[in-house]
Amino acid sequence: MYPGKLSQIISLFEALPDAEKRESLISYAAAASKQGPRDGEAFDLEDIRKDEECTDTVGVFLRVSPERHCAFRVTLGPQVQTLTKAMTAILCKGLDGLTPEEIIDVPADFVPKIVGAELVRQRSQTVYYILTRMKGIARVWLNRERSAAAQGA
C-alpha cells in the first residue's frame, strides 16, 4: 500500500510502544536540520515559500535522476513545530528514490500510523503540509516533463 522505504518506517512505528514512538519522533525531528541542500548540490526545482497554513518558511528542493528517481531536500524555518520537523526527515528518507508519479500517489493516511492518535490534533495538522509540498513540486516536475515531451513531439 505504501511505497518501499516509507512502508518500512510505518511498520517500525506501528510496532513501537508510545514512549519509544515519541523518542523516535524526537530523533527524526533532530535530523530535520540535516535535510537541507548540501554544498554543490543542484536541483531540478526549488520552491521556497511561507504559506498561510504553516508557521514558518519551508523550502522544498527536488532532483530527479535520469531514471526518474526523486531525491528531496527540505529547509524549515525555526518556528516549525517538532512533529512537522519529524515528518520532514521521515518523508525525505521514506520517499527517496520514488518516481514523481509514485510521490503523487502516496496516500496521506499513513500520518496517524506514524504519529499515533494521541499526537494528531487539530493544531498539528501541518504534519500533512510537508507531504503536500512534496507532492506539489513533483506535480510541477511532471507537468514540465510532459510539456517538454509535447514540444519535442
Partner 1 sequence: MSDKNYAHPEALVSTEWVADHLADSHLRIVESNEDILLYDTGHIQGAVHIDWRSDLQDQTIRDYITPQQFAALCERNGISNDTTVVFYGDKSNWWACYALWVFRLFGHTKVKIMDGGRDKWVAEGRHLTRAVPHFAHGHYTAPEIRCDAEIRAFYDQALAQSRAGMSLIDVRSPAEFRGEVTHMPEYPQEGVLRGGHIPGAASVPWKMAVKDDSTFKSVNELRQIYEDEAGLQPGQDVIAYCRIGERSSHTWFVLTYLLGYKNVRNYDGSWTEWGNKVGAPIERN
State the DSSP H helix or E strand holding residue 35, giving kind and residue range, or none if neither: none
Give the one residue of 37, 125, 136, 145 binding partner 1; rule: CB under 8 A: 125
Please state, in angstroms and rounded to a whole number, the distance separating the CA atoms of residues 52 and 71.
26
Q: Check residue 148 for interaction with partner 1 (CB under 8 A).
A: no
Q: How far is the CB of 51 from partner 1 (least distance, A)?
A: 9
Q: Check residue 123 for interaction with partner 1 (CB under 8 A).
A: yes
Per-residue binding string, partner 1, 87-116, x by CB under 8 A, is: ------------------------------
Q: Check residue 118 for interaction with partner 1 (CB under 8 A).
A: yes
Q: Which is nearer to partner 1, 60 or 62 (CB)?
A: 60
> Which amino acid, one-letter code, is at 139?
R
Report helix, strand and coil shares of the chain as percent, to nearest 5.
60, 10, 30
Q: Check residue 76 for interaction with partner 1 (CB under 8 A).
A: no
3 state SS of 80: coil
Please state, in angstroms and rounded to a whole number, the distance separating the CA atoms of residues 146 and 60.
21
